[in-house]
Chains A and B, each alone.
Chain A
Amino acid sequence: MQTIKLNIYGMHCTSCAFNIDGELEDTEGVKESKTNYAKQQAEVTYDSKKISVDKIVSVIRKLDDKYDAEVI
């Protein structure tokens, strides 16, 4: 298991954080996602054998056109 921190752009309320966490945790290979609205950051724990960082970023982008993410 690996943990990465991401900067998330485009979140305008706490529900966005709620949706991003839900979507990521529903994705195969992601164990846990903790998105903080105030910090505009997400901490994602994932299995690198099952999912890549690029894929994680694309899941977030796909959720809403306004969202973007980059690894810190």
Chain B
Amino acid sequence: MDLITIFLTGLFAGALSCLAVQGGLLATTIAQRHELKLQDQTKQSGNALPILCFLIAKLIAHTILGLLLGWLGSAFQLSLTANIILQVAVGIFMLGTAFNLLQVHPIFRYFIIQPPRFLTRLVRKESKSKSVFAPALLGAFTVFIPCGATQAMMALAIASGNPLSGAAILFAFVLGTSPLFFLLGYLATRVGEGMQQKFTKVAAFALILLAMLNLNNAVALTGSKVTFESISKGFYCTVSYCESSATVANAATPDNVKIRATNEATIEFTETAYSPNVINVKAGENIKLNLVNKAGAGCVQAFTIPELSIQKVVRIGSSETINFTAPSEPTQIAFMCSMGMYRGTINVI
């Protein structure tokens, strides 16, 4: 996932879902400001300053968090199983948050992280000091109540395996969430109850969508071929003509002479893909794969073949080689990044 995509995720899904969870803290910031204004009528500054302090502190806190998570990811590579568990956990968490927003059942309240008490006390104490430090502290505080989308980005930061990439991922994401936070914070007094309820619904559905993507990635990581993409593709190819499926079907046929199978192939890593993402190899032979990472900074770096239990981390700008024996029967093997986001297929012919 490149930084622009991450920024856009923040701008839309992130802002909506995070505002639903963290908006209360922003509201507290503004409420305190109003109290101060009532006490001191001569000062007529707007809401902008405390909201900006809130947002800047939030951005800095999350960037540091990204740095730490990236460092954590570099210290030890998460195993494939750990990655699957992480993805499923994040997916379930997002669903729980969404169901809580939609008030499906009281049990989903337990999915909402309540900040530790010593921190809430500290914020309360600071907010009485009437400084800009209070909104800033509240902003930084949002680190402790990550919303669903933030958790997915945190997982991405760990998977990046690099402190700077981790920091960049969370920076881009939180920066993306900022405009809507600012706008709604600024207009807070004018946003009525009805608007807020509609808003909560949109946020909940955005979260459900993100959760589905996460769970889908987790399913892909197990090496299963039954993902949303394959189901929808299968459906599309059934009702309509589908050239790629024909090619794939042919590829699995040993008699097919049109497709050249090799026992050595090179896969280049771009920022958001493996190229080529389909390779054909000979059944039963020793296969050599040259992995060249040209521009992949995120999870693309961790090249994974779940079925063969192969995972090789190729850092940006470097190359690695993996060797394996292809199955003796024609089949298709999926390969992907450690998050199951970028995928490709090895056709064993």
**Using a CB–CB distance below 8 Å, which chain A residues touch chain B?**
13-19, 21-22, 25, 34, 36-40
Contact = CB atoms under 8 A, between A and B. Distances in A.
A14 B112 contact: yes
22 contacts: A13-B21, A13-B23, A13-B112, A14-B24, A14-B112, A14-B113, A14-B145, A15-B23, A15-B25, A15-B27, A15-B28, A16-B24, A17-B114, A18-B25, A18-B115, A18-B123, A21-B120, A21-B124, A22-B124, A25-B124, A37-B114, A38-B109
A38 B114 contact: yes
Contacts of B112: 13-14, 37-38
Contacts of A38: 109-110, 112, 114
A69 B117 CA distance: 21
Interface residues of B, number: 19
B181 to A, nearest CB: 14
A36 B23 CA distance: 18
A18 B24 contact: yes
Given A13-B24, A13-B112, A39-B109, 10 more contacts: A14-B112, A14-B113, A14-B114, A15-B23, A15-B27, A18-B28, A21-B124, A25-B124, A36-B114, A38-B114
A67 to B, nearest CB: 13
Contacts of B23: 13, 15
Interface of chain A, helix or strand or loop or mixed? helix
A17 B28 CA distance: 12
Nearest to B141: A18
B176 to A, nearest CB: 22
A22 B123 CA distance: 10
A15 B24 contact: yes
